[in-house]
Chains A and B, each alone.
Chain A
Amino acid sequence: MPKFLHLILGAVLASLLFSGCTKKSGLDYGLKVEETLRINLQQEPPSLDWHKSSDTTSAMIEYNIMDGLTDYNLNDPELGLKPALAESWTSSNNSKTWTFTLRKDVKWTDGKPFEAQHVIDGWKRILNPETASIYAYFLFTVKNAEKFNKGEIKDFSKVGVSINDKGQLVVELEAPQSYFPSLLTHHATYPIRLDVVEKFGTQWTDPENIQTLGAYKLKIWDHDKAIVLERNDDYYGDKAKIKYVYGYMINEFSTAMGLFESGRLDFQDSIPANDIQRMKSEPTFRTSPLLGTYYYGFNARKKPFNDVLVRKAFVHAVDRSQITTLLGGDMSPLKAWVPKGMFGYEETIGLDFDPEKAKKLLKEAGYSDVSKFPRVVLGFNSNENHQRVAENYQAQIKKNLGISVEIQSEEWKVYLDRLRNDTPDIYRLGWLADYPDPDNFLNLMTKASENNHTGWSNSKFDELIQRGSSVADKEERRSIYIRAQRLLTEEDVPVNPIYSMVAHFLVSDRVKDFPNNSLSKIELKGVSFK
C-alpha cells in the first residue's frame, strides 16, 4: 500500500508544479478573448424571467436579450423614446387610449414571428396573481389591470388591452397618462412566448429553452459562475458588433479590480468611494450622471420636525457642497427634488445654504435656547458612504445650529422595517428613476405613496402631481412640476435633497463606444473593440 500512496502523492505534487503553466486566458467555454467582451455582473442574476425579476443585474441581461415595444433614445439628452417592437404609436381620448403599430419583421430566436398576441400574453402573465410578480404594478394604470391582479376580475378580456382589426395593439388606461409609452421600455412589459413557458415551467429561462428576440441571445448560464451571450444574427435591428459577452459574477470589489487592472476584465461597475480618488486619473475611469436623488427625509409626525420652521432651519443649515466634495465623486449638490439631467429639473428651486437664516428660523420656532431642543436621531442603512454623509451632516448641524444629532445605522432590511414602523426623526433614502419622467420622483411624496415616510402630505401637491401625469403639453407639464417642487422643497420642506447621483465605472482601453447614460442602461449591441 505505501507504494501506491507514494505514487499518488507524487502525482499530486507533480500536478501542483505543472499546473502553474496551464491555460491563462481566463475565459472558459472555449471563447476567444478577441471576440468576447468581458464584463463583471457582480452577482448571479436572480432570474432571467423578465416578468419575475426585480433587480438591476437581471434587468441588464434582459435588456440585451429582449426588446420592449419602445426604447429610450440613449443619444437624446432628454432621453426621449424611440421605436423598438412598436414602429409607431398614437394616443387619443386625451392620452387615455394608446394604439401601437407593431413591426412585422421581428422573429424569435427559434424563427417564429413576433405577434401582438405575445404582448397580451405577457401582460396577462405578469398581472396574473399566481405569477406573483413584483412589477405587476407597472401596468396598474391599464384599465382593470389592478382589479385583475387583486383577483377581483377573473376574465382577462375585461382588462384594457386588445388587438384591433388592423393588427394594432390598443391599450385603454384608467386615467390619462402622457408618459405611458415610456413604461413599455421596462422588462415587466416585454412580450413572451407562453408556449415556451408552459412547456418548460421554471426551467424556461435555461439557455436551451428560452426564446428571445433581442440583439443578443443567451448561450450559457453556468449558475453562480458565468453568463455568456452570443450575437443574435437574425436580429431585426442593427446587429451587435461584438460576438460574445462574458459576464462574470464577482462580488468582491478588490478582486474584480485586480482582474480589471491585470487586463482580464473589460468593464467594472460601481467603485467604492475610497477608491474613486485613486482611480479618477486613470484613462479607464468613466463618470456618468445618474437620474437619482440622494436625500434626507424629516419625520413630520412628531416634534420637532412637525414644525415647518424647524425643517427649513435644518435645510438652510447644511452646505451640500461639503458633502459632495467629501465623497470625492462628481455628484452635484441638489436643492430641487428632480435630479439634474431630467426633464423638470430647475437649478433655482430649493433652499440655499444660509446658516444665519437657519438660526433665525430656529428662534422663530421657539428654540432660542438650543439646549431645550429635543433629542434628534438620524437613521441610515449601514454603508461606508452613508456613514460619511451622516457624520458630516451631524457636524454641520452642530456647528451651524448648535444642535447635537445622534446618528444610528442599521442593516438594510432592519432599517427598512424601522422606516415603515418607527421612522427616525431624520432618515436617509435615495431614489433612482424607474423611467425618466418627473412623475416617477414626485409621485413618491404624495399622500398615497408607500415610499413617503415623512408623514407629511398636502392635497395641493397631490393635485398637481395628478394633473402633471395627464397633461400632454410639454411646457405645461414642466411648469406644473416646477410648481410642485417649489411646494415640496421651499414651502413645506418635508425633505432635504442632498445630491444628484452619478455612476462611476471602468472600461478597458480596447473597448470603444461603451454606453454612458443617465439611466445606467447598458446596451451592449453598439459596443465594439478598437
Chain B
Amino acid sequence: MREVIQRGAPIPLILFLTSVVWTFLGNDLPQTLLLAFLGSTLFYFLFYVIEKNMGAYVLRRFLEAGFTIFVIATMTFLLLRVIPGGPFDEEKALPPAVKANIEAKYGLDDPLWKQYANYMGGLLQGDLGESYKYVGRPITEIIGSALPNSIQLGVYALLVAYLLGLPLGVIAASRHGTWVDSAMMVTAISGVSLPSFLVAPLFVILFSFTLNWLEPALWMGPSYYILPMVVLGIRPAAGIARLTRASVLEVIQSDFIRTAKSKGLSERNILFKHVLRNSLIPVLSLAGPMIAGILTGSFIIELIFAIPGLAKHMVQSVTNRDYPLVLGATLLFAFLLVLANLISDLIIAMIDPRVKFS
C-alpha cells in the first residue's frame, strides 16, 4: 500500500504543471483541477508528516505561524492609526455632519480598543471587513479577484527561474574553469545586478515595439504573460544558477562521488543520479526566500505591466488610508511568506535524510 502511495507521489506535481500550462494558454483554471491539486498536495503532505513522524514539528510551526500573523495584524492595526491623516480626510474638507455619518458607518467613532476587538473578532471568522475606498466591496472579494493574477505571475516567474537557473548552473559546473563557465557566470551576475525597472522597459522596447512579438502590458493571454514573467524570473534565475553551480562543484568533490567514479560509473550517470540529487538540496532550500523575493519583486512588475494583481492595492491602500484593505493585503503577504518558508523547510525535510526534527 505504502509502495503504491509513494509511486503516486508526483501526482500533485503533475496536476500543478498541468494547471500552469492550462492557465498559461489563456484559460481559466477549472475548479476541479484546482481542488484536485490542493487535495492531493494535502494528502501527500499528511502522508509524509505521518510517515516521517513530523506531526509535533508541523504543529509547532503552524502555531508559530499563527502567532506571527497575530503580531503582524496587531502591529499593522496600531501603526495605521499612528500615521497622520485618516481615510476620509480629503482635500475638500467634509462638513462635520457628513464626516460624522461616515465615521459612524465604519465604526471609526468607537474607542480604539473596540475597533481592534471588532477587527480581530472578524478576522477569526475570516471576515476582513469592507473597503473604505471601494465602497461596499468586501476585502475578501477584492483580494480574491487580484490574488489569482499575482499567483499566476509568481508561479510563472518561479518556473522561469528554475528552468533557466538550474541548467545554467549545472552546465557551468560541469564545464568548470572553461570559458563556458565564465560566460555563464558573467551572465548570471548581470542578471542579479540589473534592476527590473530597467530590464522591463528594455524588453518592452525590444520585444514589443521593435520586434512586435509580444504585448507590452496588460494580462490577457500568453503573449501578455511572457515579458513580465521573464523579467520577474531573471533575477532569481541568476541566483539559482550561481547556487547550483557552487553546490554541484561541492558535491562533485565529495567522497561518495569519487567512489562512484572509481566504480566505473559513466560521467552522465554520476551527474544525473548522484550529483544533481544531492546538490539540489541547497537550491530547493532557497525556494522559500526566493518566493518572498518574487512576491515583493512582483510589485514593480505588476505596476509596469499593468497587471491587475495585489501590488497596486498594497501601495494605494496605504496612500488612501483604506485601513481594512491595508490590513488584508499585509496579512495575506505575511501568510504567503510564512507558508512559503514552511513549505520549503518541509520539502528539504522530505528529500534530505540528514535533517532532524525536534
Contact = CB atoms under 8 A, between A and B. Distances in A.
A129 B101 contact: yes
Interface in A247-277: 248-252, 254-256, 258-259, 262, 264
A413 B319 contact: yes
Given A224-B145, A224-B308, A255-B306, A24 B135 contact: no
B332 to A, nearest CB: 15
Interface stretch (B68-76, B121-129, B217-225, B283-291): B217-225
B168 to A, nearest CB: 15
Contact of B84 (A46, A54, A251, A418): A418
Contacts of B89: 413, 416-417, 420
A196 to B, nearest CB: 14
Contact of B24 (A15, A140, A224, A252): A15
Of B101, B102, B105, most A-chain CB atoms within 10 Å: B101
A258 B204 contact: yes
B235 interface: no
B134 A249 contact: no
Contacts of B195: none
Given A54-B90, A136-B98, A16 B142 contact: no
Nearest to A224: B308
B242 interface: no
Given A52-B135, A413-B86, A413-B89, A249 B105 contact: no
Contact of A259 (B17, B217, B223): B217
Contact of B312 (A16, A251, A430): A251
A149 B98 contact: yes
Contacts, number: 177
Contact of A20 (B24, B88, B213, B218): B213
Contacts of B201: 254
A132 B101 contact: yes
Nearest to B130: A202
A99 B201 CA distance: 58
B104 interface: yes
B10 A137 contact: no
Interface stretch (A5-13, A155-163, A282-290): A5-13
A528 interface: no
B204 A47 contact: no
Given A1-B10, A12-B24, A134-B98, A414 B84 contact: yes
A28 B220 contact: yes
A44 interface: yes
Nearest to B211: A20
A47 B322 CA distance: 14
Contacts of A281: none
B133 interface: yes
B340 interface: no
Interface in B291-338: 303-306, 308, 312, 316, 319, 321
A429 interface: yes
A150 interface: yes
B21 interface: yes
B308 A255 contact: no
B221 A23 contact: yes
Nearest to A202: B136
Contacts of B84: 413-414, 417-418
B26 interface: yes
A19 interface: yes
A262 B216 CA distance: 9
A133 B102 CA distance: 7
Contacts of A429: 91
9 contacts: A8-B18, A19-B24, A20-B213, A23-B221, A28-B220, A134-B88, A248-B218, A255-B304, A413-B83
Given A8-B18, A251-B312, 12 more contacts: A9-B17, A9-B163, A11-B21, A12-B159, A26-B218, A134-B98, A224-B308, A414-B84, A414-B85, A420-B93, A429-B91, A450-B94
The 5 closest A-B pairs by CB, nearest first: A413-B85, A19-B222, A450-B93, A202-B136, A417-B84
Interface of B: 10, 13-14, 17-18, 20-21, 24-26, 83-86, 88-95, 97-98, 100-102, 104-106, 133-137, 142, 145-146, 159, 163, 201, 204, 208-209, 213-223, 225-226, 303-306, 308, 312, 316, 319, 321
